[in-house]
Amino acid sequence: MFDLPHTQKFRLIVKRYERDRAASDGDSTLSPRRLAENECGISRTSGHILANGGSIKDPGKLTQFENVFRMKVFAEPGSSSYQSHWADVKNTVDKTRAEPRFSRELVPAAYGHWSAIALDENRSDADRILVGRMAEFVLYHFARTPKDKLLTGLPERVDPEAAKIRGREVIDSLVGILSAHPTPPDGLFEQGSKIAQEQGYRMLRIRLHGDYTGWRYAHAVDWRFSDAPRDTERTRVLEDAYRTGQAQDLMWLHEELEGSDVGHPNSAFVLATHAGDWLRAGEYGARLLQAFPALLTERVKDLSALLDDRTVWPGVAAMMVHRWLDIPAGCRAVLEAPSAQYDPAMALIRRMVPAVEAGASYLSALKTGE
């Protein structure tokens, strides 16, 4: 569940020891980093290499290192055997959807037995989450894979349209379970400290809420070129996602991972913007630009520049209204005196400012810039 570089995982382990030290009497004479090195079974030299961008090559030491990460930082749901099975399913779906196992084994299992468990209210919530996440993951990718990319010979009972309906039923059920459990349901985790389990559960919520949003808006083509009906549909879906607390979880993850992934604060900013929570949109947008100032006018990874994406312009207006001094100076200069390329966009964003100040809805604010 956590595809992070070794150096980042090591920093998170050290941070966990720092927090433990702050919460205790601090009776150990060893530094948090040295305690982390000892727990991971690595030397000071290896710790220095890890802290400076290196990785662990020895398989035995890597296993111990990963176990410490799961025990101290982010616990993985389920037993060790379940985790291995989930990793195998995910690897098959991510890399080899054209192979027989995806079409002839995983899709029927996801559509049938796994979905049945996820939807069975007599089952434990932990079992429903563990099996349901596999079911919706497989069905989502099955629904999105072009037919010519799938192996022929798929069992007749798995109709693609029916699979979409079943997948939505499963993810709806899982989100309902998450909403009923602010803390991990009994039996969801078998390993890890209490803190690691709580953080692992929060990460699981982020992933499943993200999948929920994907299921609800899977038919969207490109939000940046939306017509009015699609604006309305997009807003409905993202408002729903915001109400689940997904934006707050994403900003928490942004802080935990030390701002290493632009996707986390950007998604939180987009959600708050579409929900019309202008105070939060301004805050999240300013924090996004503090970590990734280039995103205002340039693509970062696969994300369009904010000034190229009309769907977030009300959020840019919210930054200007509520968090102006928190925006990096270089970005403020662009917003105050844009180049010819961005002058038309800024003219429309300025027209949105009064609507944001008045607490208008997202769609109303967006419309003022048309």
User: What confidence tens digit (pLDDT) does each residue in 80-95 have?
Assistant: 999 999 999 998 888 7
pLDDT for the residue numbered 131:
98
| Nearest-angstrom CA–CA distance, 92 and 145 | 14
pLDDT for the residue numbered 155:
54
- Mean pLDDT, rounded, for 336-343: 94
Whether the predicted pLDDT of 24 surpasses 80 = no
Q: Which residues contact 247 (CB under 8 A, 6 or more apart)?
A: 267, 268, 271, 272, 275, 280, 284
pLDDT for the residue numbered 220:
47
Residues above pLDDT 70, as percent of the chain: 90
- Mean pLDDT, rounded, for 188-209: 95
Residue ranges of alpha helices (H) inside the chain are 6-23, 32-40, 44-51, 59-72, 80-95, 100-101, 107-109, 115-119, 125-144, 160-180, 194-216, 228-243, 246-256, 263-274, 278-291, 313-322, 329-336, 343-357, 362-368
pLDDT for the residue numbered 28:
67
Token code pair at residue 127: 């079992």
Whether the predicted pLDDT of 365 surpasses 70 = yes
The model carries a pTM of 0.86
CB 65 within 8 Å of CB 56: yes
